[in-house]
Each structure stands twice: as structure tokens, then as C-alpha cells.
Structure 1
């Protein structure tokens, strides 16, 4: 539902006290396990924002003061109140859960629904249309369950999931970790796996105990059902969160083959065949692998060497036996007796291809990145960058040098002009050191120009660049900023880059601070309003602490990329933007 950016996103507005109380009453009525005094899920300062999905479905999101979406509704009117992944991280037991292997999570994030073969465990007595959370399955003994990574509605009753050979959808997914609704918030690391009470007959009973009850035919009624996922339907789980077994790699490659047949190969004209096995593998199967990361990503490369087949020929012949494609041996060359395996056709009407749910692939991510780069390049061409010129004026000790060189002492000089003037003086006075031409002999004028009351060292020679640097240090800094259709602005002083820093404020909340933007003809109010709209987060303006002048703009969340893109769109050259993340976490 939120796999694409939200459209018609309105500016977030604080909820009135009366509306907040009504929302809180509604939350407590829908989820009685939440105590009325709990302020965590309906905090003071709650914001609301209206939006439309890419399918033009209207909705309302309720955001915490830091910008994290906590609840949302869909459709016209009040709609059902649905908790987000951020809310479920605070209250993991708020909804009954289903668990699925780690490799299925990227498919869900890509916009697919959860299929029945992808369900490993589920809470008992689930009803059709009931709200549920989807977690990552953790293999092994114990009662650990991964944090909720998706929210959805049951497509059928949980009793139907256990039927042998049952296929189809188990959960209609509404919202996932890393989708466009989740991206409105501050992000953050996925929580650790948690202990779920009431898994066994007694709180804390582990899976081994539960298995022993099953052997006696006395499975507790409140224990989650455990199902063996079908290997040929969905990507498998990771065995320990870090590695994949050969069978699991094979399943992922098979899923990638289904994706490529459904989305690409079925649309190729017959003249595109035959395709050699190696080209088929590298051009269609590998780019169709799932792209999204998971909380515990596998380290095993998903390639044919790590699969149970070990060879591409074996993998393709297995797919031919299933009726997914057609193979043929043909001679490599007219003179050679060796043969190459080629694919002469695929079967897009195969039942597994028709039942396959599309997901975001590595190729999709590459194409998206390329399109984004093209858009950025197009925007850069549209926006005329500011012309920023650093320059210096003769001042105090450097005045005598410019007078002796016959140059104006009231003009501004760029670094290139200063170096050219200095080179002319060196050549006219034969100051190049005959023993080492990279050094310049220091005559009386240069010595008096570079000397100071605090530094009385006697200089005999210096390198050209060092000589230029020391001369510039003796001059007065100025800068000139030219914007299209406006008179150039010339000011005294050094020009510092715009600072964009992510810091942790108010406990564990990350915020982005922007300072030193005034010299670039930008105002605090303008930046605050634009960032509030772009980031759908709260913003504020205040004086820079510890300084007599200058304002700072604060926007909730880690927004370095959004701020940088806004500044570049307003003509600020990227080299004049300095960013850093001081939050102690990855961006």
C-alpha cells in the first residue's frame, strides 16, 4: 500500500486537545491492553497529516512530535485505526502475530502480500480480516520472536492455513518496515528479538517443551501454530540470521526465475530465443534477486555455487522438469563438437508463475538509482548555481608588496590572481633558487611582508605554494556571491559552508540542525517551511546558541539527504555544504 511515495501530502498540524482525547479513547477501546494512563502511543504534541496513496486512496497518519507515524487510517471518514511498525516496536504484543522466514521480508517490503507457504508460525484462532503483525521467524529452541516488521489483515482463518497443500494469500499486507509510510519517521535500528509470553502452556515455556506436549497429543490451546514452509513457494528463512543453506539458496534462485519469467521473459518476442544458459543466468535470473535488506541479512552469496545444484546446467534442467522452461543442446561452433545449453522458451502460464507475487529486485533498485541520478542532473541543469568567489584585499603588512608590484591596494584579488602576481614578481627579480627550482629565495620585501610581531623567524626560501599561502594569510578575506538576475553581493570576511548536522536531542530523538545559511541568501523561515513540507516532520527556528547572530533551523529525524537536496535545488553548490551524523548510529 505504501510501496510508492505518498501523494497530496498535506502539512502536518498539531491535534487539538479534544481531538487527541478522542483518539486516545478510541485507542483504548480498540486495544484494551493499553492502560489509559499510557502516554507513549498518543503523546502530547501529536500531529496529523492527510495523504493519498499511489492508488489514490485517502488516509490520515498520526505522527509523534519527532515525526514517527504511530497510527493511520484508510478510506473516507474515520476508518479503522491501524498501528504502524513504530507503534508495534513500542508494544510488540499489541496485535497477534505470524512469523515468516527472513528472506520473505524483502518480498513483503516490495509490496507483496504474505502467502500461505511463507507462514512458519501463527497465533491461534485468527479470524478473516483481523489485524495482525508479521515478524521474522527465528529458528531453534526457545520462545524468541523477531520484532514486528509488517501490519496486515488476515485473508482467511488460521485453521485454513494448516490445511495440507493449501495455497493462496494468508495476509493482505497494509504497511511494512522501510515502506514510504515508515520513511516519514526517524527510522532507527530494528529492535532485538523478544520473548513472547504465553507461547506454551505456561509463560516462558520453550519450543522444545511445546514439542514434547505435541508428541503426547496435548498441544496447549494458546500456543502459536508452527508450520513447515513449502520450499518451492517462497524464499526460505536464514538458519541463524547470517547464513543460508544450499537448499535455501536454491529456493531464492527459483523465486528469482519465477520473477524474471513473470516480469521480463514473458514479454520478449519469440525471436529473442534461444538464449545461452550463461546469458540467461546473468541477464535475467541474477538481476531478479530480492534487493531489500532484512534485520539479520544472510551473508551467503545467492548464486549457483552456493545452491544445492552446484552447477547452472543442473539448476536449469530441474526447472525444465517442473515445466518452467524448455532447453536444447546446440553446437558451440560449426567446427567444434562441444555443445552449449540454450533456453528456447519459457512458460509464463505455469501455475507457479501465475501465483508468484512480484517484489523489488536488484535490477529495480539499480534502475531507480539511475532515474534518480538523471532527475538530479536535470534539476541541476535547470537551477543556475550560485557563483561564489573567494577573494582577498591587501591589508597591513601586505600593502607594501602590492605597492612595489605596481598593483592597486584597494582591489579584491582571487587566489589565482595572487599567484599570477607573485609569479611575475619572482621572475622579474630572479628569485628562483638555482639549487632547487621548487623553492623561491626570500628577498627583503617578501621577508618584511611575511614577518609579524609574534613571528620573527628569518626566512631564506619557501616553496611557491607555501609562499602564496603565507601572502594570503596577510591579506583581508572577502567573498562575492552572484545569483542569476541579481546584483553580486560582496562582503568582508571568510565564507563558511552551510552546516547540516544530525544530533541526538531530548533523550534518544535524532534531529537535524542547519546553520550558517544566511550568507547564501536563504532565510530561516523559508527553510523551516520547505523542510516541514518535504520531510513531513516538525521544524523550529531559534538563535544559534553561543553566538550573537545567526539562526538555526531544526527538523525532526535524520534528514541530511533531504536538506542537501533542498539546498542544491536553491543553487547552493554541493562543495559549500558540510554534513555529519553525530547521532552515533548509521544513517
Structure 2
């Protein structure tokens, strides 16, 4: 359902009464969980109307911008992966092998041969009804990787002889809903599987028991860098937690000036983004309160607190925007202000570069992501292998791509002189011998296999945002026929950037012809943009694609000859 791009049609913050209705629906649909865990009282609730690639309309409900539930045709609320990672037992699970996950990400449903039986006999596939929501996890990780609906009842699955579709997948790790808010995306938390009990097989039609969930002090919505309370905890957890607590305490020291500047920046950027993305669609005249609630708040990178700005009130902020010429406000009656016109040609609006995802959400101009994404096989450094990998600057719990492990082992063997030149066998040193429990020599492939067998197998959705070990992006100027100056940009594709989307943004933002140039005797392609567009390219790469400035060369060639001073 969400593997292909969808088009958001509208986004609006939920009112208090609408939020209460949503809570009541969730309590009816999932009586065995505490709704407060998923929707804290002070959380910002947003509903987004979307049109899927297949033309189906749906509704997505977000908590603090993170998608937590989506709605099916009949009004059924389906939890997303972020919900399943927060409250694991909200749905029953089917387990599949880790090798099946890449096939699911390519759009396949979960077939019955890929399902690991839950029991024996009629209990082999539990006791579930056709169309029931089912979460899917892996044999080596009990965290959910997808959610779908049963294609047939458990009894029918047992009687069909191990053939056919088991689960019609609706939402999967790595799809567009998972990456709906790029700044909050999470990888699959690593949770070891546990043995099944009779409680995993309730009688057909039986009412699920309400489970009391202990109170938690930590927020339920976490970013990718935070860990889950139920995940494997490394030995240095207490030290890192103490450091994190100290850092948080320091960050909360009273600094009114800094808070005001931060909140004002968020507010101003949200205001400009609202004009940039929705200016032509605003139903003028529009109440100032509705403009702020429906358009400015939904564009904000973080939650806005007007009281922490120097404006203190919305009317003061809008009065300044009127003075600066962005909008015209008219007071229709006492206390009722309406925006009657907006200046979309204002230089600050024209030059403001919005987040491309938000732009697509309102204009529907593009339905493709900015970066190429791929599902990578990873091995997690376990407690057993930590002694070996810490010598190579890898931490316990860190993920290492499959292709990189052999390179790491080869470098270790070469550095320590463990390879016998004549026999081509590796003689284990003290560290390897302790890891394997013997001193027997073996080939490099055997050593790699033994190491990976003692590591946790996992998957990670990767994009071009990782800049480690990549060539620098080079910007240069050249002259073409007719003494016309052009800007040349190299190595963009190394960062996973989709060139067709990048070209589209260059044509729209710089209003300049952009083409791909094939260089002789080179594998990579080069972009050619008409005119001196060095400044625009640098801003596009750093603000929209979040490429670190240190990874870009050639900024000194900009028209003003000065490097960009970032605020």
C-alpha cells in the first residue's frame, strides 16, 4: 500500500474534540493497550489525507509528526511500525525468515511457505480470522518489520497445504510511510525472540485480556539515535545514560535569549514555508488564527511556543510580517482579523528554499524521493565478538555491512602478519583463538564465516545521507560555445542523490538549463547548469539534501567570491 509514493492532499492539526474521538476509536479497537503510551496528553496530533499510488484515499494520524496509525477503507485503524516498536503486543505476529524481507520490500505479499509455524496441528498458524491485522517479524529479531491483513483464516491456512498468500502486506519497513518524516526515521530495533507459550494462541473469538502497562518516564516517540527499553543493553549503558542525563540537564539551563532566537527562527521559517508551499492555494480572506493553525504549525520543524519568542502573541508576530510586506491583514470586526492578500513575489519568499518533501506534499509536483534507498544486510557486533572489533574502532552493538566484514578481517590478518604465505592459511592470534576457542588455522573465508556466525544478523534501510568514505562534490566553472559560462558539478551520484530530481530542482530554483554531461574515459556523469550557479547549488545541497559543507568544494567560485556564512 505504501511501497510506492503517495501524494498528501491536506494536513491539519487535530482539535481537542477530534483528538478525543480518535482516542475513543483506539480504545475500542485495541482495548488491551494504554492509549496514553501512544498519544501523550500534550502531544501534537496531526491528520494527513493522502492519495496512494493506486488512487485510494486514506488518512494518516501523526503524533509529534511521527506517523502512528493509518486508516483503511472501512475506517479500521492500523498501527504503523513506530507504534509496534513502542507497544509490541498491540497485534499478533507471524514470523518469517530474514531472507524474505528483501522480497517483501520489492512489493511481494508474505507467502505461506515463508511463515514459520507457531505450533503443531490446527494451532500451526494460531487461531485468527480472515482479514485480521497481523504484524510480521523475523526469526532473528522479534521487532516488527511489517503489518498486513490475513488473506485467509488460520484454519484455511492449515488446510491449503502450505501454498498461497498468507498475509497481504499493507505497510513495511523501508516504505514511504516509514520515511514520512525523514528527521525522525528509525531503524529496526534489535529484540531477541522469545519462546512461545499457550497465551500466544487464544481461542477463536475470545476477548483479549487487558494488560496493565507500567508507567514509563521516557517519551514514547524516539528518534533513530535513541534506544528502546526492551532492546539488548550494552555493558556501558549506565555510563552513557549518565552522560546523556548530564548533557540534558546542561541543555535545560535557563538561557532566555537563546530560546527566543531558536523559537523565532522556527516560527519565521514555518511562516515562509507556509507562504511558499500554500500561497497560491490560500482561501483568502482567511482568519489569521486559521492560517496559523492550519498552515504555519504544520510546516514547523519543531513545536512552536509563541510565549518563548519576543512576540508573545500571534497578533504581534503577524503585525511585524505586515510591516515587512509579506501579508495584508484587515480587521473585519473587533477581535476578528483576516488575511486578505499575500505577496508571493517578496524576495524572502522567492529565495526561501523549503524542504522538498513538504513542497511535494502540497503541490504534488513530484512523487519520487530525493535519495536512492536500498536494504542492506548488516551484522551487529555482539558481546562475543566485541573484543575483536573494538581493536578496529567498532563499538558493541554497531552494524557492519556484510561486504565490509571480509575487508576488515583481511586488513586485520595482514596488519598482524597472520597469513601463511605458503599454505595461504590464517594462523589465529590470541584474540581470534579466544573468539573461536581453538588454535586451528583456516582460510580467510572460513575465518569470516566463523566471525559472522557469532554476530546478530539484521537489515538496515540506507540512503545517500551517509557521507563517510565518499568523494567530495566538486563545483567548477567552464566556458562553452558563444563564451557562455556554465557550472559543472561532479560526484553528486556518490551521495545517493537521484539526478532526475536534482535536475528538476535546479530548473525550478535557478531557472537555468540543466543537463547531464558524459565525460570521456570516466565512469561517472557530470551536471552542467547554465550560468554561475555555484551559490545556488551549494545552498541546495546543504539545506535540502543536508550534505555537510565540508564535503563540497568550489564555493569560492560564487559570484560574490565569498564563502557562505551559515547562521
TM-score clears 0.5 = no
Q: Which has the larger radius of gyration?
A: 1
Bucket of the pairwise TM-score, normalised by the shorter protein: 0.3 to 0.5
TM-score of the superposed pair, with normalisation by structure 1:
0.37
TM-score of the superposed pair, with normalisation by structure 2:
0.38
